[in-house]
Amino acid sequence: MRKDSSFYKKLYSEILLGYSSVVLKDRAFYLKHIDSLDSLDQSRAYAINFEYAKAKGLQQKKEKLDFVIANDIWTKEKENKISSLEDSLERLHATQKKLFVQAQRSQNQKKIDKLTSEFALLNSERLEALGETCETFANKKSQEAMIRSLFFKDESLKERLYTKEEFDDLEHSEISTLFILMGKGLAEFTEKNIRVLSLCPLFLNSFFLCPDNAYNFYGKAVSLLSNNQTSLYSNGITVKDYASKGHPLPDNVLDDPEKALSWFSFDPDAKNKISDKDGGTIVGATIEEMKRADPNAKTIGQMAKEKFKGKKELNMQDMLNLHGYEV
């Protein structure tokens, strides 16, 4: 479903505030957006709980993996398949960042979606075979610590919703409810939505007036910025960089967010990456995408009209010549 301007206004407002409003048991509370310190605290909680689990006799993932394979609960072939899927997904995601032709991005995304689904199913099976390990115990406890640190009673984010003692007394179902509530509260702050927002006038009008300094824009030190604030600012810098290199911003961003996102994947130096052998064209690119990469770029049809003016039909030699091959 297409998101309208009110959605992005709300998104921008909550990013600037650093929190979102949530409702729990018919009461309004405040969900703090994660920042770098929260992430560090979670890492520290993970390390502490990992050592605790290890001291209590839980096996580490590698030890448990060797055990379940040796006892035919899991197989080496499935484990190798998981490693292969992880490697493939890493390469595909790296490729996705370099593509700016929408047709190529769509095709690559289909491969990512397919392999991601395969990985999720196989990894779920592996987790069931492994059971609890030092890693899963530490991960659960560190996530619970993160949850407690994000819910507040007040907008100033001074009074936490639960003390440590109160949180420790919560039922499993109550903690699960908080997990779900956190997921819903933060679900809208995706990379995609933040990128579209960074192309919207409501953000750019003030961002372009501000020097390239995060403190001047947010009024606080970079170390205190939420991850969402950092992401929005970084995307804004990218927009400003692209625009400074002569690549105009897309019109009516909210009318076609997907088109806006394809602009974001554009490489401002793409013109320098078009080889002579391509004949000045970009395979699979639309005319608009070619123009963005190089204002002088031409379609095969345009080049043919210029090079073979007056000729009604082109033979194979002409076509090879058109693509830069000397025959």
Angle at 17 (CA atoms; ends 11, 19), nearest 5 degrees: 75
Contact 123, 82 (CB under 8 A): yes
Q: How confident is the model at residue 271 (pLDDT cuts 50, 70, 90)?
A: very low
Higher pLDDT, 20 or 103: 20
Report the pLDDT value the prediction gives residue 200, as an integer from 0 to 100. Answer: 86
Q: How confident is the model at residue 67 (pLDDT cuts 50, 70, 90)?
A: very high
Report the pLDDT value the prediction gives residue 105, as an integer from 0 to 100. Answer: 80
Kindly state the tokens that stand for 65.
Answer: 């993996």
Report the pLDDT value the prediction gives residue 321, as an integer from 0 to 100. Answer: 55
Report the pLDDT value the prediction gives residue 293, as an integer from 0 to 100. Answer: 54
Q: In this prediction, what percent of the chain has a pLDDT beyond 90?
A: 61
Mean pLDDT of the chain: 83
Q: How confident is the model at residue 245 (pLDDT cuts 50, 70, 90)?
A: confident
DSSP H helices, the chain, are: 5-17, 36-55, 61-70, 76-98, 102-130, 134-150, 164-168, 172-186, 191-197, 201-207, 214-218, 227-244, 257-264, 287-293, 300-307, 316-322
**pLDDT beyond 50 at 16:** yes
Angle at 254 (CA atoms; ends 252, 255), nearest 5 degrees: 65
Closest listed residue to residue 277, CA positions, set 308, 316, 321, 309: 321
CA-to-CA separations, 60 to 46, 51, 157, in angstroms, rounded: 14, 10, 37
Q: What are 196-214's pLDDT values in tens digits?
A: 899 888 898 899 888 888 9
**pLDDT beyond 70 at 269:** no
Kindly state the tokens that stand for 15.
Answer: 């990013």
Could you say which DSSP state residue 16 is in? H
**pLDDT beyond 60 at 48:** yes
Helix (H) or strand (E) segment spanning residue 27: strand 27-32
Q: What are 299-318's pLDDT values in tens digits?
A: 545 555 555 566 556 555 55
